[in-house]
Structures are given as structure tokens and as C-alpha cells.
Amino acid sequence: DGKPDLTNLVATKDLDVNLNGLTTPAEVQKGVADNTKDTVDVPASYLDRANFPGPFTAGVNQVIPYEFFAGDGMLTRLILKASDKAPWSDNGTAKNPALPPVEKLGKGLYFYEVDLAGTQGKSDKELLDLLKQNGTQSYKATIKVYGAKDGKPDLTNLVATKDLDVNLNGLTTPNQVKESVVNNVKDMIDVPASYLDKAKVPGPFLAGVNQVIPYEAFGGDGMLTRLLLKASDKAPWSDNGTAKNPALLPLEGLAKGQYFYEVDLNGNTVGKEGQALLDQLRANGTHTYQATVKVYGSKDGKPDLTNLIATRQVTIQLRGKEMATIPSQQGQMNTKPSETGSTGTTEGMMGTNHHMSDMKVDQPASSPMANMMKKDDKAMLPNTGEAKTATAGLGIFGLALAGLVGLLGLTTKRED
């Protein structure tokens, strides 16, 4: 009869309806100020592998919805502080979850763009080609967030803005990495005892030792691997990097995030890192390690351990604390003999010889220190307390024997 028949249900379906509450301009402004970085370093591999069509340049020099700010594979995703702990995939192939620039951001309420200085007017493929052509370069960028009108961006309503630096890195070729390992890394290093003694965990000393980290971090202040670089001979050092001396690059113009490295130590340090490794190195004392420098390629911003780019064998000699104490022990023996006496001198010499024995084991056979100690052993023997005690003993025995002979002679005369 032209009216609804509620007793005649023809079809049904369940669905979800998401109602978005308003995100205020103040919340957007706070999000831009608090949730975005001042400087962004973009790994070379991200730029190199970016395709078009693809998400990498979305939102760069073009206005798109603000909720798309940090989709997987987007350059603008890297602007968010939250991206440091979030996964990345080139061109968004892994479809990792987007990161919200503001919590509970309402859809369609705001739009944004990130303008790169020197690239104005270019977007999409034209922009991508230009960025790749420019290679390693720093850009002044500006984040702009607009309000909406009738579901479209209202460019007359600028809600928030922020300036930042975007550092894009061009590619470093595998051949350049191989050359750097051959030409810029030493064959052998001798690490002062104080460096090991003062090292702390957490701290930079063991970064990159038995663990894989970015190749550009190879020569950080206070790092053991910094000493492997030839450039370290003329560079300052501070224990645990407290002085924040400039890092030394293993390769000039090295792209960030493109390569990773590790320096593996042999022996009883295999599989140890951090505090466990530091404790083991100290327990080993003065010791020479055969180490291997390994440089890997990357995939999706992570080390690709199946892609070994370069490798090199090096020798690392770490000095234990005993090396620093020997001179003071010898000085005490030589300058204060009257206070120690024969027994004290003997014990001191035995202690010193014990240290020397330890060092002979740990030092290479051709070490100048080992040769000096061999010469010193013979020269020092006549001066030991044991020799003085033996001489004194012979003197007393001689006097006793002479007295006995005299007594026997006197007895014989009386009998006569």
C-alpha cells in the first residue's frame, strides 16, 4: 500500500561508522612544534630506490590531506620524531602503518605541504629526478598546514608552519667503500691502557665491536674503531666521547644509512658485546686480538648481512692496567731499598718478574718491550736479595768453621 512493511525484511548488513571529532588549530600547532624534527637526515638508499609513481615525494611541493603526512615510504614520514622507532620500506611496499602527526587527527580537516627551497614548482617525477640529480645536498624546508573549506584545502587559512633542514644523501658506490677500507684503515693499532680502563657502558668505546651499526659512525669520539682510521693519528680523543670531538668519516662524502659495519674480535670475546665484552677485555688484560672489519650494504634502511661489501683483517693490541703500574713498582725498588730489606726486595722482584712473564706472553715475539726485558733479566739478577742472603750465609759459616778449628788446636796443645 505504498508504506514500509517492517515485517518484510529483505536484506541486512552490519558496518562500522567512524565519526571524527574536531581537532583544534591549537592541537595542530602543538603537533607541528612538538612532534617534528628540526633536522632530517635521509639515507641515500631511500632516495636511490624511490620510484614514481610512489609515495616518496607525496606532500613535497604539493598539498595533500594532513592525515597522510607519515605514510610508509614517504619523505615527510621521516620528519616525525616517531619515525626513528618506526619501520620503513622503500616505496611503501611493506605497507607499514602510517604515523599520525597529531593524536586523534580528524580526517579531511587539515591539509599540508613541505616546500623544499631550490626545487619550487617541481613535484612528482620531475622533483624526484631533480633530487637524484642533485645527490648529497641540504635543503631548507618549510612545513605548512592549512585549514579546510568545503572538504578542500583553504590556502588562505595557514594554521601552522615550521622551518627545518632536510639533508638528502647521494649514493656512495661499493667500490668507494672498498677503497676506503683498504686505504683509510690501519693494519694494526696499539690502544693505551687508560682508554680501556676509563671506558664505560653505556658509552661509545665498544660501539661497532661485535655489533653492526651505520658505517658513518665508524670514527666517533671515544670509539675503539675510531683508532682504526689513519686520520685518528692527528685527531683529538676524549674518554667516552665527553668532549664531543668531531667524528671522523671512513670515507669522504659517505652517504648516511647506505652502509653498515662491524669489527669482530676473535678469541673469548666472540658473541659478547656491551658490558659483557668490556668486562672480558679487562679480564684479558694486555692482549693482542685478530680482528675483522666487515662492511655491509643496506635494505629498507637496515643492514643487509647477505651483502658483504668489504672486509679486512687487522690487529688490535689492547693494553691492560698492569702496563701502567710497572714503572712505579720498579721506581719504588730502586729509590727505597733501605725501607724494604732483603725479603721485601725479593718479593718485589718476584712480583715484577711475574708481570714481565705475563707481558711476554701477551706481547708479540718481535716487540721491543720483550727484547728489553730479556736483556734486563740478566743484568738484574746479581742485585737480588737472594744473592745478598747467600753471601751473608757463607760468611757466617766460614767464621764458625774457623772457630771450631781453633778450639781443636787448643785442646791438642793442652794434651801435649
| pLDDT given for residue 21 in this prediction | 64
Query: Which band of pLDDT confidence, cut at 50, 70 and 90, is reported for residue 341?
Result: very low
| pLDDT given for residue 232 in this prediction | 97
In a domain, 355, yes or no: yes
Q: Verify that 178 and 304 share a domain, yes or no.
A: yes
pLDDT exceeds cutoff 60 at 407: no
Residue 14 to residues 5, 11, 17, 19, 90, Cα–Cα distance (Å): 21, 11, 10, 16, 36
Q: Are 376 and 353 in contact (CB under 8 A)?
A: no
Is the model more confident about 255 or about 355?
A: 255
In a domain, 94, yes or no: yes
* Ramachandran class of 14: left when φ > 0, alpha when ψ lies in -120 to 50, beta otherwise: beta
| pLDDT given for residue 19 in this prediction | 64
In a domain, 18, yes or no: no
In degrees rounded to 5, what are phi and psi of residue 295?
Answer: -120, 130
pLDDT exceeds cutoff 60 at 389: no
Query: Which band of pLDDT confidence, cut at 50, 70 and 90, is reported for residue 365?
Result: very low
Q: Could you tell me the maximum CA-CA distance found in the chain, to the nearest angstrom? A: 171
Amino acid at residue number 186: K
Q: Verify that 183 and 291 share a domain, yes or no.
A: yes
Lowest mean pLDDT among 120-124, 194-198, 322-326, 358-362: 358-362
Measured between alpha carbons, how far is 297 from 395 in angstroms, rounded to an integer?
78
In a domain, 373, yes or no: yes
Lowest mean pLDDT among 78-82, 111-115, 382-386: 382-386
Q: Verify that 206 and 229 share a domain, yes or no.
A: yes
Nearest to 101 by CA among 154, 166, 164, 30: 30
In a domain, 1, yes or no: no
Count of helix runs (H) and strand runs (E) in the chain: 10, 10
Q: Verify that 247 and 379 share a domain, yes or no.
A: no
Q: Verify that 307 and 201 share a domain, yes or no.
A: yes
Q: Are 143 and 123 in contact (CB under 8 A)?
A: no
- Range 251-270 average pLDDT: 92
Q: Verify that 301 and 340 share a domain, yes or no.
A: no
Q: Are 55 and 91 in contact (CB under 8 A)?
A: yes
pLDDT exceeds cutoff 60 at 355: no
Domain total of the chain: 3
pLDDT exceeds cutoff 60 at 380: no
| pLDDT given for residue 37 in this prediction | 98
Query: Which band of pLDDT confidence, cut at 50, 70 and 90, is reported for residue 257?
Result: confident
Query: Which band of pLDDT confidence, cut at 50, 70 and 90, is reported for residue 403?
Result: low
Q: Verify that 158 and 233 share a domain, yes or no.
A: no
Among residues 320, 338, 359, the one where a domain terminates is 320
Q: Are 287 and 320 in contact (CB under 8 A)?
A: yes
Measured between alpha carbons, how far is 181 from 299 in angstroms, rounded to an integer?
21
In a domain, 99, yes or no: yes
- Range 226-253 average pLDDT: 96
In a domain, 72, yes or no: yes
Amino acid at residue number 58: A
Q: Are 128 and 60 in contact (CB under 8 A)?
A: no
In DSSP terms, which residues pair with 219 in a beta bridge?
248
Is the model more confident about 388 or about 16?
A: 16
Q: Regarding beta strands 152-168 and 39-42, do their DSSP bridges make them parallel or antiparallel, or are they unpaired?
A: parallel
pLDDT tens digits, 290-337 = 999 999 999 888 999 999 999 999 999 999 886 444 443 333 334 333
Q: Are 177 and 309 in contact (CB under 8 A)?
A: yes
Measured between alpha carbons, how far is 20 from 106 in angstroms, rounded to an integer?
5
* C-alpha cell, 68: 597522510
Q: At what angle do helices 337-362 and 368-380 cross, to 10 degrees?
A: 140
| pLDDT given for residue 343 in this prediction | 37
Measured between alpha carbons, how far is 348 from 336 in angstroms, rounded to an integer?
12
- Average pLDDT over the chain, rounded to whole? 82
- Range 251-255 average pLDDT: 86
Q: Are 338 and 207 in contact (CB under 8 A)?
A: no
Nearest to 302 by CA among 53, 49, 132: 49
Helix (H, G, I), strand (E, B) or coil at 139: strand
Q: Verify that 86 and 65 share a domain, yes or no.
A: yes
| pLDDT given for residue 393 in this prediction | 46
pLDDT tens digits, 190-223 = 999 999 999 999 999 999 999 999 999 999 999 9
| pLDDT given for residue 135 in this prediction | 85
| Portion of the chain with pLDDT greater than 90, in percent | 65
Question: Which domain range does residue 116 map to?
Answer: 25-168
Q: Verify that 48 and 180 share a domain, yes or no.
A: no
Among residues 168, 183, 209, the one where a domain terminates is 168
* C-alpha cell, 193: 691502557
Among residues 150, 168, 186, the one where a domain terminates is 168
* C-alpha cell, 259: 652502509
- Range 178-187 average pLDDT: 97
pLDDT tens digits, 33-75 = 999 999 999 988 899 899 999 999 999 999 999 999 999 999 9
| pLDDT given for residue 104 in this prediction | 85
Q: Verify that 187 and 73 share a domain, yes or no.
A: no
| pLDDT given for residue 131 in this prediction | 94
Q: Regarding beta strands 39-42 and 260-265, do their DSSP bridges make them parallel or antiparallel, or are they unpaired?
A: unpaired
Q: Verify that 198 and 158 share a domain, yes or no.
A: no
* C-alpha cell, 318: 689492547
pLDDT exceeds cutoff 70 at 362: no
pLDDT tens digits, 151-168 = 999 999 999 999 999 999
Nearest to 187 by CA among 291, 106, 108: 291
- Range 365-381 average pLDDT: 38
In degrees rounded to 5, what are phi and psi of residue 334?
Answer: -80, -30
Q: Verify that 290 and 362 share a domain, yes or no.
A: no
pLDDT exceeds cutoff 60 at 409: no
Measured between alpha carbons, how far is 316 from 265 in angstroms, rounded to an integer?
9
| pLDDT given for residue 26 in this prediction | 94
> Residue 17 half-sphere exposure, CB side, CA atoms within 13 Å?
3
Query: Which band of pLDDT confidence, cut at 50, 70 and 90, is reported for residue 182?
Result: very high
Query: Which band of pLDDT confidence, cut at 50, 70 and 90, is reported for residue 18?
Result: low
Q: Are 68 and 86 in contact (CB under 8 A)?
A: no
Measured between alpha carbons, how far is 369 from 356 in angstroms, rounded to an integer?
10
Query: Which band of pLDDT confidence, cut at 50, 70 and 90, is reported for residue 12?
Result: very high
In a domain, 416, yes or no: no
* C-alpha cell, 349: 722482584
